Amino acid sequence: MSALPVYRTPVREDWIDYNGHLSEAYYVLVFGFATDQVMDRIGLDAASREAAGSSLYTVEAHVRYLQEVARGAELAVTTTIAGSAARKLHLAHEMTVDDELVATEEILCLHVAGEPARAAPFPDAVAARITEHGAASAPDWIGRAIRI
């Protein structure tokens, strides 16, 4: 199994909210950019998406906001492929600042293809890359539910 690349980005000034910290919507934006990077790595880059008419749709997401992120911080998102099936991809994103965990996002993606887009099995080459980058074990925080 080979590791996926870490997605890195600085916090932009327009991402700061009225409390002086990273606004909650921008955590999700950054996680989305990390998902795009995973798509590129597994063979669902822009060129292949256009040629095959396929993509990933996020069908479920769970974000945990663990720490406030200050103006000017450098974000790093490490992604683990927590699982996969013929048409599904389960990703676990961990966002850090200076190696401190600040947020996580767990998403379930559905592979779609065609016009109109419908659920479809991953092409063989994409499925092989998913397997190549799959995790030996998933983070212990995935699969949680929200409850009081």
Query: Mind listing the pLDDT tens digit for each residue in 34-74?
Result: 999 999 999 999 988 888 788 999 999 999 999 999 999 99
115, two tokens: 């016009």
E strand or H helix that includes residue 29: helix 24-42
pLDDT of residue 88: 98
How many other CB atoms are found less than 10 A from the CB of residue 16? 17
In the chain the domains, ranked by start, together with CATH numbers, are 7-133 (3.10.129.10)
Mean pLDDT of the chain: 94
Per cent of the chain over pLDDT 70 is 99
pLDDT of residue 1: 62
Query: Mind listing the pLDDT tens digit for each residue in 11-25?
Result: 999 999 999 999 999
User: Which are the contacts of 146, defined by CB distance < 8 A and separation ≥ 6?
Assistant: 62
Closest CA to 2 of 75, 81, 72: 81
Per cent of the chain over pLDDT 90 is 82
pTM above 0.85, yes or no: yes
Per-residue CA distances from 141 to 7, 42, 93, 104 (Å): 20, 24, 11, 9
Average pLDDT over residues 95-122: 95
Confidence of residue 121 (pLDDT cuts 50, 70, 90): very high
Closest CA to 105 of 147, 50, 58: 58
pLDDT of residue 33: 98
